[in-house]
């Protein structure tokens, strides 16, 4: 590994995993999931947000921070309860913008029912920050009987997602770089805790992750590395908006590696029809569908193309779009 940190070390790909290996040499970590379960069915998570721009189509850094924390708890099956939020603000940052960001964060908290109970504020000199960074700490309660783990995944399990992929990453890069892409595309930034609880009530859900940094392909590679089981997803079944597909072709990136902020990938037992029907009744699950399955005699993650061939989906060294969350 390089002896200097690069943007790639924070982007969810292979470089970040190498960095996490360095942390594991120092810290006695029980695991490296986005949230961790401790005693008495309590789930904890911490997250930081450095998205640029801080206001973007479909949200802002405040909405993103609370949503991301809620979703990390939800992926453990937890019901979000409490949140602390910390601001690192650059000198000269407009107070009106700070109020807007805070109101946006509170609006999502109210929607979900999570209480913002405290936090911290620090100010750095002008030119020593980039507007505002946010760090959060969240606590949730895992209902009795809920246990989500890659240890439960088996060959034949289906892979379900709740809607189109790549919206967030493309919306951010278009707003940041001013490409002028002719699209009304917005970030999919959305809290998924209620959707997840509705899915869990149906039963059959074994594991969940939200495909943020690194996108769908990176999450599937992480599951493959942990289970040893191969994965095939079907190109014809992938929900991708035409404008996202077009933008990715223009930028030379694969939408399967583009970040999402309102999506859940679920591994389910057998036919996921009942789960998908329930998901589609939720405001954040209207585009839910099955995109693939787990295979026993297969080494790696593959995309079954429209012509029937298998294209390998490797873990990239870094996310092609940095600072998207």
> Rounded to 10 degrees, what is the CA torsion of 184, 50, 255, 304?
-140
pLDDT digits (tens, 9 = 90+) for 193-208: 999 999 999 999 999 9
Peptide bond into 53 cis (omega under 30): yes
pLDDT digits (tens, 9 = 90+) for 101-126: 999 999 999 999 999 999 999 999 99
Q: What are phi and psi of 208, to 5 degrees?
A: -140, 145
Helix, strand or coil, per DSSP, at residue 226: helix
Domains of the chain, by residue range, sit at 33-141, 150-312
Q: What are phi and psi of 100, to 5 degrees?
A: -60, -45
Full 3-state SS string of 271-289: CCHHHHHHHHCCCCCCCCE
Residues ≥6 apart with Cβ < 8 Å to 110: none
Q: Distance between terminal CA atoms of the chain?
A: 24
Residues comprising the chain, all counted: 325
| Res. 18 pLDDT band, cuts 50 70 90 | confident
pLDDT digits (tens, 9 = 90+) for 257-293: 999 999 999 999 989 999 999 999 999 999 999 999 9
Q: How much is the pTM?
A: 0.93
Q: Which fold has domain 150-312?
A: Phosphoribosyl-aminoimidazole Synthetase; Chain A, domain 2 (3.90.650)
User: What CATH number was assigned to the domain covering residues 33-141?
Assistant: 3.30.1330.10
Question: For residue 300, what is the DSSP state?
Answer: S
| Res. 5 pLDDT band, cuts 50 70 90 | confident
Dihedral sign, Cα of residue 187, residue 193, residue 194, residue 196: positive
């Amino acid at each position: 590994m390089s002896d200097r940190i690069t943007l790639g070390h924070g982007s969810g790909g292979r470089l970040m995993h190498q960095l996490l290996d360095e942390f594991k040499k120092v810290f006695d970590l029980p695991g490296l999931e986005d949230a961790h379960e401790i005693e008495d069915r309590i789930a904890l998570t911490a997250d930081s947000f450095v998205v640029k721009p801080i206001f973007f189509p479909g949200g802002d850094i405040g909405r993103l921070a609370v949503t991301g924390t809620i979703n990390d708890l939800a992926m453990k099956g937890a019901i979000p309860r409490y949140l602390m939020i910390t601001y690192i603000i650059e000198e000269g940052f407009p107070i009106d913008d700070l109020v807007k960001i805070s109101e946006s964060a509170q609006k999502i908290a109210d929607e979900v029912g999570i209480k913002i109970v405290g936090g911290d504020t620090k100010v750095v000199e002008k030119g020593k920050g980039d507007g505002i960074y946010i760090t959060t700490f969240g606590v949730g309660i895992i209902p009795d009987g809920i246990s989500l783990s890659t240890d439960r995944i088996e060959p034949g399990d289906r892979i379900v997602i709740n809607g189109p992929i790549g919206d967030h990453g493309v919306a951010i890069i278009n707003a940041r770089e001013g490409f002028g892409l002719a699209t009304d595309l917005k970030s999919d930034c959305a809290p998924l805790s209620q959707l997840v609880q509705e899915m869990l009530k149906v039963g059959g859900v074994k594991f969940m992750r939200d495909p943020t940094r690194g996108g769908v392909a990176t999450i599937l590679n992480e599951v493959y590395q942990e289970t040893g089981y191969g994965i095939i997803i079907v190109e014809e079944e992938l929900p991708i908006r035409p404008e996202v597909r077009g933008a990715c072709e223009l930028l030379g990136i694969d939408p399967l590696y583009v970040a999402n902020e309102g999506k859940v990938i679920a591994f389910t037992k057998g036919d996921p029809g009942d789960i998908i029907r329930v998901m589609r009744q939720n405001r954040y699950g209207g585009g839910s569908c099955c995109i693939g399955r787990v295979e026993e005699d297969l080494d790696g993650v593959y995309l079954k193309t429209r012509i029937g061939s298998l294209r390998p989906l490797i873990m990239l060294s870094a996310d092609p779009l940095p600072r998207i969350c």
